[in-house]
Structure 1
């Protein structure tokens, strides 16, 4: 039975109903289950979050199924409403999802708010399947623990540590440094990576910032508090970072990389 109340937002629940029933119609017997991961699974989803989903499929979608899924996601963002423009997720092949041996394989993916799909490993990462297994919200289908083996701590830690080496360049390569949201995103991702390196777990953005306030050098608390306070400003392409805050964000990312 389809979960009628997976989030506290009635409109989002309706969008998820349309997503799941549309995916079922497109996939037929290949549909295994549908789940929320990301911030909503971690209990931190709000109106500033995207809604991260995974639909698990028995086999890689064939040409007909892929065409139907692309039509579904081409339509969803153009319907009336708010949450239909804030979905992001992938169609995960069950065999790939089972163990870490399947990490990095491409799945059919739709980026936040987009109406065109692509093949990408964006959702096929250690932190995605850790959140799914440990905190995933079932929309329809078996419990996630039946689909995903435990993610070893060292896999999470090693991947987070490796990403820190190029974090600033990677983020600012697609997120311009003159946009305030990008300054906040860099700090958040550095804090989340440090949390994972230290704990072998994955935290929400807010929880990672709060954890870093307690465990990083106290001199970084003003920066972390600024990012936490400014989160409610959302993404405004015309809003510039606070004076000096982008340089501080770069320095924090370098500090975290050295510490990790």
Structure 2
């Protein structure tokens, strides 16, 4: 089977990383690992395991590498990568140097990402995730999901203007559906599977179709009124769903 443009970008990136910093492994997670990747629409979610902690000079070198790589590979516009130090890989709450949205910053690698890697991470270089990543502790994934819903997404439903934007509608509904399935069944699902789950949950059909079209087809243009109406319905559905999901834990 011929290599795709994405395959070539990933292969070249894995090589560029190894020239920039001492690298143990490079893995892909997200839609790349779960089998729902959409070229030009999905993010390229990557993890690099590095041998030693990265200092300020390393961060500058990585930022320059990413910027040059983006200039040479337009298909890498959605490429994000966190750099986990091998000796700190078991520390679930630790911050790791990350390139995303055109800048370098620090953030944790979440339990959801860790579980994606353990279940089906794509190995681009080095040993596979199951040889380096420790398994999650019992309840760790579920606790993270509930905390994310309660501390991030529920407050976000109190900010109406956010929901006028496509990204908040897309992520809000998909995160909710995926959270519900993981908490209910103990498994991770793709965004495509989450869309089917949203229909079962009674999400507004036109909003679900809008999300589907943006990911898999071609969305229809929206008027200002249509966008406002979508925002009201999407925000209300997510808010109700989060409250119901959190209440189920307490009952």
Q: Quote the residue 1:66 is aligned against.
A: 59
Q: Give how far 1:20 is off.
A: 1.2
Query: Is 1:104 equivalent to 2:93 in the alignment?
Result: yes
Query: Is 1:195 equivalent to 2:181 in the alignment?
Result: yes
Alignment of 1:7-26 (within 5 A): 10-26=4-20
Q: Quote the residue 2:142 is aligned against.
A: 157
Let me know the Cα RMSD of the aligned residues. 2.9
TM-score by length of 2: 0.83
Contact 1:181-1:234 within 8 A present in 2 as well: no
Q: 1:178 aligned to 164, 184, 193, which one?
A: 164
Query: Is 1:231 equivalent to 2:215 in the alignment?
Result: yes
Any idea what SS the aligned residue of 1:220 has?
coil
Q: 2:104 aligned to 106, 109, 117, which one?
A: 117
Query: Is 1:249 equivalent to 2:234 in the alignment?
Result: yes
Q: Quote the residue 1:92 is aligned against.
A: 84
Alpha-carbon distance in 2 for matches of 1:189, 1:15? 28
Any idea what SS the aligned residue of 1:56 has?
strand
May I ask how many residue pairs the two structures share in their alignment? 241
Q: Quote the residue 1:78 is aligned against.
A: 71
Q: Which runs of 5+ in 1 are unaligned?
A: none
Contact 1:106-1:119 within 8 A present in 2 as well: yes
Q: Give how far 1:233 is off.
A: 6.1
Contact 1:156-1:201 within 8 A present in 2 as well: no
Q: Quote the residue 1:49 is aligned against.
A: 42
Q: Any idea what the Cα deviations from partners look like across 1:192-216, whole Å, max 9, x if unmatched? A: 22122212232221112223434x3
Once the two structures are overlaid, the 10-residue window that deviates more, 158-167 or 35-44, is 158-167
Q: Give how far 1:168 is off.
A: 4.5
Q: Which runs of 5+ in 2 are unaligned?
A: 246-251
Q: Quote the residue 2:249 is aligned against.
A: none
Alpha-carbon distance in 1 for matches of 2:100, 2:141? 23
TM-score by length of 1: 0.81
